[in-house]
Amino acid sequence: MLLCSGISQHTMTPDQYCQDKAAKSGSSFYYSFLFLPPQQRQAITALYAFCREVDDVVDECADPGLAATKLEWWRNEIGNLFNDNPTHPVTQALATSIKQFDLPQEHFLEIIDGMAMDLDQFSYDSFKDLSLYCYRVASVVGLMAAEIFGYKDRQTLKYAHNLGMAFQLTNILRDVAEDAARGRIYLPQDELKKFNVSQDDILNHQMSDNARQLLAFQAKRAHEYYQKAFDLLPDGDRFSQRCGIIMSAIYQATLKEIEDDDYRVLDQRISLTPVRKLWIAWRTARGEKKRFRKRKQAA
């Protein structure tokens, strides 16, 4: 049963299917994968394709009941994966990775639980409530990515957790208008009240000074999570975790674009061109390589 995407699974291998899924998304993640060794690239591409599949279930199914059924199918499919019987191209591609990189079943289920929250929760009372959602859909992915990239110091997992939060908060800010069109508001309700912005203002894309201040407050929080993440990243694990650093450079450039555009995210979706993403990825990868060489020479 191929739940999403019109691609026939007979025409391509599981790895090609995942590669296609990642490339078509045009995501910042895809550009950071290009600089990884083959085994890690295969594993992270399969993990990303899994995230895309379950995310698409929620975003593309107009009927919440059908979406819930499909997510349940994915829960069962994760069970199949861990029982050595995957049936979907994505889980088939993940089969080697879960053993090689010791990726836990609970993490995959946690991601699905995060996606399921979108089916019946359209707003969040406070940042504390929103944090659980961000943890499930982003930090858990960060933790698995850290396993794939490799680390020596367990503190790197704290870095991965905070970086996932930073990415998700950037996404929330970038996608305010798109989410509003689906009737979803991820900006915490108590913060809307604090800045005197109503739900209708967001749903109707009403830009005001109050809304601008609210959005600036969200951007500041995202910056704080990037800062917290990098403060926690041990120097010895920096090069192995360079993929996250590349992603971070692209995401932070997007955040800066939003700020430079005076937070007009209710009017338009701000995104970087593929060429710019590739340039940032290449420049960051080169910088990390130089840094790593210097560190080795100094050792």
What pLDDT score was predicted for residue 35? 81
Q: Do 122-292 and 14-120 have the same topology in CATH?
A: yes
User: Under a CB-based contact definition with an 8 Å cutoff, are residues 151 and 241 in contact?
Assistant: yes
Domain 122-292 has CATH 1.10.600.10: yes
Per-residue model confidence as pLDDT tens digits over 22-45: 888 767 777 888 888 999 999 999
Q: What's the pLDDT tens digit per position in 244-255?
A: 999 999 999 999
The pTM for the full model equals 0.92
Q: What is the dihedral of CA 272, 275, 277, 278, to 10 degrees?
A: 180
Q: How far apart are CA 169 and CA 143, in angstroms?
A: 17
Q: Where are the alpha helices (DSSP H) in 63-154?
A: 64-82, 89-100, 105-120, 127-134, 140-149
Residue with tokens 């937070």: 263
pLDDT value of position 2: 43
CA distance 118 to 19: 26
Element (H, E) at 14: helix 14-25
Helix (H) or strand (E) holding 295: helix 274-298
Quickly state the pLDDT bin for 156 (edges 50, 70, 90): very high
| Residue type present at position 256 | K
The span from the CA of 177 to the CA of 69, in Å, is 27
Round to whole Å and give the CA distance between 295 and 45: 29
CATH superfamily for 14-120 is Farnesyl Diphosphate Synthase (1.10.600.10)
How many angstroms separate the Cα of 215 from the Cα of each of 160, 167, 170, 197, 202? 24, 15, 11, 11, 11
Asked if residues 44 and 243 have their Cβ atoms less than 8 Å apart, the reply is yes
For the chain, give the percent of residues with pLDDT over 70. Answer: 96
- Pair of tokens at residue 285: 């990868």
Q: How far apart are CA 80 and CA 205, in angstroms?
A: 43
**Angstrom distance (rounded) from CA 32 to CA 299:** 27
CB within 8 Å of 82: residues ≥ 6 apart: 98, 105
Is residue 5 very low, low, confident or very high in pLDDT (cuts 50, 70, 90)?
very low
Domain ranges of the chain: 14-120, 122-292
